[in-house]
């Protein structure tokens, strides 16, 4: 098998809902380094947390999940030790992610379960 070199890192934010039968792409970025990709993910985690906090406060904390999605992403973004672990894993060629689940109201329908995913992976090219 031919050796492959890292050509950069692709990072993205998605939300999926098996209940609603859909997947929505929120944002993505091509980055030059593993640390830049993880930093982008942390920025997206903070952005999502801020948006979701306003929605979660309107729901009055009655989601039925052990932790609100915003709290999961804020805790993940604040964990500097785990950030270093994820940077090292990504630089070593492993994909990394942060995931959380909660409920949302889709197009005025009933509440559905949604899965939020922030992920990054190396993009490889042949030597």
54 is written with which tokens?
């306003």
In this prediction, residue 67 carries a pLDDT of: 82
pLDDT single digits (tens) 84-93: 999 999 999 9
H helices of 2-122, in order, are: 34-59, 69-78, 80-91
Please state the pTM of the whole predicted model: 0.85
In this prediction, residue 123 carries a pLDDT of: 95
Find how far residue 110's CA is from the centre of its chain. 24
Residue 127: exposure state from Cβ atoms within 10 A (0-12, 13-18, ≥19): exposed
pLDDT single digits (tens) 35-53: 999 999 999 999 999 988 8
Find how far residue 96's CA is from the centre of its chain. 9
Q: What is the CA radius of gyration of the chain?
A: 16
Answer whether residue 2 shows pLDDT above 60: no
In this prediction, residue 20 carries a pLDDT of: 74
């Amino acid at each position: 098998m031919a050796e492959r070199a890292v050509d950069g890192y692709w990072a993205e934010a998605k939300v999926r809902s098996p209940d609603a039968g859909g997947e929505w792409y929120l944002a993505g970025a091509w980055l030059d380094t593993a640390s830049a990709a993880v930093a982008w993910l942390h920025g997206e985690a903070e952005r999502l947390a801020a948006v979701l906090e306003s929605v979660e406060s309107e729901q009055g904390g009655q989601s039925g999940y052990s932790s609100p999605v915003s709290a999961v992403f804020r805790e993940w973004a604040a964990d500097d030790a785990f950030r270093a672990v994820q940077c090292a894993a990504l630089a070593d060629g492993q994909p990394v992610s942060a995931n959380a689940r909660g409920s949302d109201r889709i197009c005025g329908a009933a509440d559905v379960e949604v899965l939020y995913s922030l992920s990054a992976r190396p993009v490889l090219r042949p030597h």
